[in-house]
Amino acid sequence: MLQIQYKNRKNGKIEIENIPGRGMLKWLYNKPLGRGALHVLFKRKFISVLGGWYMDTRWSKKRISSFVQGHGINLEECEISNVDKFGSFNDFFCRKLKKYARPIGDRLVSPADGKILVFPEITDLSSFFVKNSAFSLKSFLGSGALAQKYNGGSMAIIRLAPPDYHRYHFPASGTASGSTKIKGHYFSVSPLALQNSLKIFCENKREYCTLSSPLYGDILIVDVGATMVGSIIQTYSPNSEVKKGDEKGYFAFGGSTLALLFGENKVLFDNDLVANTKNGLETTICMGENIASKYPA
């Protein structure tokens, strides 16, 4: 089986990702019969809603201990550190962290825990996603005007795997607009799925808001749902002033993705993130870690 490698930012080592449901994903996205089942059944909303319903029940609690142990999740950094105190798997999945569990950096920071790719120019996406890599900003954003605004700009993609902390935050201080929803399907955003088509980002359910930052211009924050993500929950107040690191929202059970879009000549991504992406590797990241600086005047 194909292995998914990534760069661990803390120790500098290349590591292999432990992908939940790996066998099923390989079948769904790489086998003719599996692809048929994917389009007829698994991309549909009711499958994710049904899965989300189960994860909200008390019967799902029994899955928490083995999930924590299997993925080495550190519950000591969470507000609730005892698995018996969670009411359901989704209760655990949407867990909150202790106040200082994620230090907030002094520059532009990651909005979430996960694995990050950065593209100084949005056109660079095709160099990472080789297969069927057609990607249209207009299709992704559902707006020709927005596509024109960010054409020539840069982009960061943060992929949240099921074991990750699934609340996400603002990467900078500024004014946050309301959230615009775009209807879509519920394809997986696992790297096993994205290897076959980046168009998944243009087809999945998603929402976006604009964070108007004095330092980095208008940052478009796009929340992308995926298989088993029945809900994208916004917890911030629309059209309000926010501080860097403030919570923006959370994803219910499943893997999911955040995309950050910047105007031309607004940010300079950190060199290690750029180099890793050019080498075809995602980089581990924690919410609050520095990822970019203001573009020099």
- The b-or-e profile of 127-140 (16+ CB within 10 A means b, else e) is ebbeeeeebebeeb
Catalytic residue among 60, 88, 166, 169: 169
Which of 113, 164, 223, 270 is catalytic? The answer is 113
Query: Mind giving me the DSSP string for 125-160?
Result: HHHH--TT----HHHHHT-HHHHHHHTT-EEEEEEE
CB 245 within 8 A of CB 104: yes
Q: Report how far apart, in Å, the C-alpha atoms of 291 and of each of 115, 138, 172, 190, 218 are.
A: 12, 26, 11, 22, 17
Catalytic residue list contains 39: no
In terms of residues, how long is the chain?
297
Catalytic residue among 88, 190, 231, 256: 256
Residue 81: CB atoms within 10 Å: 12
Give burial (CB, 10 Å; 0-12/13-18/19+) of 97: middle
Tokens for 251, please give them: 């994803």
Mapped onto helix, strand or coil, the DSSP state of residue 237 is coil
18, 41, 94, 197, 283 from 163: Cα distances, Å: 10, 25, 11, 23, 16
Cross-strand bridge partners of residue 117: 157
Catalytic, 166? Answer no
Cα separation, 239 vs 166, in Å, equals 23
Whether 113 is catalytic: yes
> Known catalytic residues?
113, 169, 256
